[in-house]
Structure formats: structure tokens, C-alpha cells
Amino acid sequence: MKVSCLQMNMKLGRPEENFSHAERLIGEAMREKPDVLVLPETWNTGFFPKEHLTELCCNDGDTVKARIGSLAQKYGVNIVAGSVSNVRNGKVFNTAMIFDRQGACIAEYDKTHLFTPMGEQDYYTGGDHLCRFTLDGIKCGMIICYDIRFPELTRTLSLPGMDMLFMVSQWPKERIFHLRTLTAARAIENQMFVVCCNSCGTADETVYGGHSAVIDPLGKTLALAGETEEILFAACNMQILAEMRQSIPVFRDRRPALYHID
């Protein structure tokens, strides 16, 4: 599976400009004929405008489904459409949407763990469900940014069987070492590919650090972006999964009767 991460520099609080920019990046990425395109977190608004947030949001994902879903159908490509600031039933969510090659929205996910150090919980509502889906026969899962710091979430996603985890983020430059370490750890411990699409640029006083990456189940970085806007490509050989899981059978050797996580 060929994956492309669109490490996007979006404009804070300017959704129409960001939609147009995302559409241009998608068109550019399709020159390399990837199987999956991935956008970063809250790319419609940036992370995150505190003034007039509700007015800047999508309404139940309407614009994403109309514009990004139509591009998935046009190009015949799977799109993990990052996440967007999204109003649903009068509440604001940080919502990810996934589209198949026919342009159908096959999964949605609201960010579970809101980033309290920046007050995200004061403006957004946390999600109440996990997200699993299948792309081209490959079992996938979805998390958003701060979620990566909670290994119990990723392990819960992985237990039924998962081959690829998509993680989209607005991760600051000052903590890029954490991003690189956590994504590699999740790949190794769950024996799966991790696709991380981060943002870049500056919003208010925060500089976002880029370094989007595709990591294989051995923890090897297959592709790594820099700090500025970039389209990243990587080919994931799914055949290595069975060999890896057979040689180091961590899921078979688990002892869940001893694990107590509240």
C-alpha cells in the first residue's frame, strides 16, 4: 500500500482558504498515484481559533463530505481526511472522516482525549467511540494527536487485529521528540504500520513541527518529512506483518488476567 501524508500549513480561522489549499495538495499528491492520502488534524480551522469557533466549523462534516469525498471518488483514492472542527447537535467536535475509493464516508471518529494544557476541553466535546475500518482489505484504526499518549487506547484498537494505524496531529515543534518516540513505540508494541500526518507552520504563538512519518512494525521509519509543508510518500509492504507476528508473538503471549487498567 502506497501512503501519502499531506503535511499542511493551514491558516488559523480561515476554513475556505484551507479547503482550497487542501484540494490543491490532494491534486498534486495524486501525480504519484498513492493508495491512501492523509491530512492533518483540524486542517479546516487550524488548532484552534477561540473566537467564533462554532461559525468556522463544518456542520456535521458537510463540507468535507461534499468536497473531499468527491475528490476521493474523482481520483479513485482512499482519503483519511485528517480531522476538522465540526459542529454536530449543537456541540463542537474534533472529527476525523475516512473516505473509500468510491467517495463514501466509511468511518468517523471524534477525538477521545482532548488536550487540556491548551484548553481544548473548554471548546470541544470528547468522543465516545473508537474507530476501526478497512481500506483495500487492510484493517485500520484512527486516532488524533493527544490520543497517542494513551497506549491503552491503541492496544484496545489493536486487539481484534489491526494492520495500520493512522494518527493525525497538530504537534508542536518543541515536543517533536515525543511524537517520534510515541509513534515508533505504538508501531513496535502493536506490530503494525503507523502513519503520522502532522501539521507545520505557526498558529498564534505555537510553532507546529512537521516530521510526519510512516513507520513499519519493526519501528523503522520508511519516510520522514521535515519541518515545512511537504507531501510525503511511503510504500508499506503488508507481507512483513505475518512474519513479524510469528517470530515475536506478543499478542499470543499476553497475560490479560494480570492486567488491571481502570
Is-catalytic flag, 196? no
Is-catalytic flag, 197? no
**Given 145, 196, 200, 236, the catalytic residue:** 145
> What's the maximum distance between 2 C-alpha atoms anywhere in the chain?
53
**Given 5, 41, 57, 230, the catalytic residue:** 41
Is-catalytic flag, 50? no
**Given 57, 58, 108, 111, the catalytic residue:** 111
Active site residues: 41, 111, 145
